[in-house]
Chain A
Amino acid sequence: QKEVEQNSGPLSVPEGAIASLNCTYSDRGSQSFFWYRQYSGKSPELIMFIYSNGDKEDGRFTAQLNKASQYVSLLIRDSQPSDSATYLCAVRLGGGTDKLIFGTGTRLQVFP
């Protein structure tokens, strides 16, 4: 079983819709959770991080964490074609480290 699992997609949504990206993780000791976005041919860039159960909102992005279910999600409201990219979920087991376990990513396509 992979430590961090994501549906590879592609997830296709129309412009203006809500895109919902999901991620599950296997290690209950995971403490921090990150979403990175990677455009084709580019390097990953951090979108959001979340440490506590519940929702965290930043502009059009909302991260949701449920530690009991070992589940983290990213919602993108009012999706734009420029949101088309691969979204990488990553978890960190402990504090004070940049060692992240990444999922293989979900490819999102937003069509006009």
Chain B
Amino acid sequence: KAGVTQTPRYLIKTRGQQVTLSCSPISGHRSVSWYQQTPGQGLQFLFEYFSETQRNKGNFPGRFSGRQFSNSRSEMNVSTLELGDSALYLCASSYRGTGELFFGEGSRLTVL
């Protein structure tokens, strides 16, 4: 069974640009959540989607947005990038929001 797939794995952007990250959950998993991981703050919840609906949102500015498609694949977008957005962005899926998360390998974003 394929795991959670995230693309791209690495990317470098400059301040002011925008970025879109993609996540394909484990087959059959309908819940997708996104987390940001930085050395100082650890893992912080961004948002969660279930059946194309945003179920929860973390305490991040409106520059961070996401969506989920009918096939459960999800994307997140960060607009007007800032240096502080440099982080590992992790996507996780679960069958139906049990907290038992399966994480992808992450997309490492560097903002210059």
Binding site for B on A (CB under 8 A): 32, 34, 36, 42-46, 49, 88, 90, 92, 96-105
* Cross-chain contact A99 with B100 (CB below 8 angstroms): no
Q: Please, which residues of chain A bring their CB within 8 A of the CB of B100?
A: 34, 46, 49
Q: List 15 A-B contacts (CB under 8 A).
A: A34-B100, A36-B101, A43-B90, A43-B105, A46-B101, A49-B99, A88-B42, A90-B99, A97-B48, A97-B56, A98-B56, A99-B58, A100-B43, A101-B45, A102-B44
Binding site for A on B (CB under 8 A): 31, 33, 35, 41-45, 48, 55-56, 58, 90, 92, 94, 96-106
Nearest opposing residue in chain B for A31, CB measure: B99
* Cross-chain contact B43 with A102 (CB below 8 angstroms): yes
Q: Please, which residues of chain A bring their CB within 8 A of the CB of B102?
A: 46
A92 to B97, CA, bound (A): 11
Kindly count the residue-residue contacts between A and B in the assembled complex, taking CB atoms under 8 Å apart.
61
Q: Please, which residues of chain B bring their CB within 8 A of the CB of A97?
A: 48, 55-56, 97, 99
How far does the Cβ of A33 sit from chain B's closest Cβ, in whole Å? Answer: 9
Q: Please, which residues of chain A bring their CB within 8 A of the CB of B41?
A: 104
A105 to B45, CA, bound (A): 15
A43 to B23, CA, bound (A): 14
A100 to B97, CA, bound (A): 10
How far does the Cβ of B21 sit from chain A's closest Cβ, in whole Å? Answer: 14
Q: Please, which residues of chain B bring their CB within 8 A of the CB of A42?
A: 105
* Cross-chain contact B58 with A100 (CB below 8 angstroms): no
Nearest opposing residue in chain A for B55, CB measure: A97
Q: Please, which residues of chain B bring their CB within 8 A of the CB of A43?
A: 90, 103-106
